[in-house]
Structure 1
Amino acid sequence: MTGIEVKSFDKPDETRMFESKGYVDIVTLAGRPVGRAVFEPGWRWSADVRPIAGTERCEVSHLAYCVSGRIRIHMADGSEQDVTPGEAVAIAPGHDAEVIGDEACVMLDFGEISQYARRG
């Protein structure tokens, strides 16, 4: 890459719809995907993305920043962590997640999301 590459989530390269309750917009910069996920109130990975992924838990590694709302991460080992606005988080594969409260959770994801919520 040379120079500067700028893209807007207002005109994403791709939008991936969840089964319900949200979507993730993808822009590709320097050959890497960056996602802006909007998880609506009531969203849960196991209900809204598992049918797309076809796995028991989310097997994607996330490196994310919470813009708004709250999300609770449930790891396979039983540990849990809430993520709130202004916090950055690294999430290993093998988790479920759910929105907490009545506000949409917006996350920017710089992780290994090339296949996240991708159909077929």
Structure 2
Amino acid sequence: MTIVRRNFDDADETRPFADDKGRLDVIQAEGGPVGRAVFEPGWRWSEHIKPLAGTDSCLSAHTGYVVSGRMHVVMDDGEADDYGPGDFMQVSPGHDAWVVGDEPCVAVDWTGFGDYAKAAGG
């Protein structure tokens, strides 16, 4: 048996978002990658990640927890919801999202950040 302690401030990889609108810190864990994203005010998936992803909407599934700030998510079919501090989130592929308000949104995700914010094909 083992125990592991890691800190996202010393992540295995950091992926910056376009226009300095945040970053994704990724830790490679035994069960797969875990990410902490810091989405700055003004961040929007369709503006700051879409050019990297090369898709019309986010095709990552997300299972995570919002630490601080607020995020608005709109599915391709129009269903929408807001997430804030303390919220568990589970979002299927096919969505856009953006920060609500003037506070960064910080979220931890253990299913959707393995290839998130990487250039298409990378």
Give the shorter-chain TM-score range.
over 0.9
Give, in angstroms, the shift of residue 6 of structure 1: 1.9
Q: Which runs of 5+ in 2 are unaligned?
A: none
Output one character per residue of 1:66-101: Cα deviation in whole Å (capped at 9) or x when no partner: 000000001001011000100001000000000000
SS in 2 for 1:42: coil
Q: Which runs of 5+ in 1 are unaligned?
A: none
Give, in angstroms, the shift of residue 64 of structure 1: 1.0
Distance in 1 between the 2:29 and 2:15 partners?
A: 17
Structure-2-length-normalised TM-score:
0.94
1:96 aligns with 2:100: no
Pairs within 5 Å for 1:76-95: 76-95=76-95
SS in 1 for 2:36: strand
Distance in 2 between the 1:115 and 1:40 partners?
A: 20
Structure 2 counterpart of 1:33, which letter?
Answer: P
Distance in 2 between the 1:113 and 1:99 partners?
A: 17
1:112 aligns with 2:112: yes
Q: Given that residues 26 and 113 in structure 2 are in contact (C-alpha distance below 8 angstroms), is that contact kept between their aligned partners in structure 1?
A: no
Distance in 2 between the 1:39 and 1:69 partners?
A: 9
Which of the two has greater helix per residue? 2
Structure 1 counterpart of 2:10, which letter?
Answer: K
% same residue: 49
Aligned to 1:11: 10
Give, in angstroms, the shift of residue 61 of structure 1: 0.5
Give, in angstroms, the shift of residue 31 of structure 1: 4.4
Spell out structure 1 runs of 4+ moving beyond 6 A.
none
Aligned to 1:36: 36
Root-mean-square deviation (CA, aligned residues, Å) is 1.0
Give, in angstroms, the shift of residue 103 of structure 1: 0.3
Q: Given that residues 7 and 29 in structure 1 are in contact (C-alpha distance below 8 angstroms), is that contact kept between their aligned partners in structure 2?
A: no
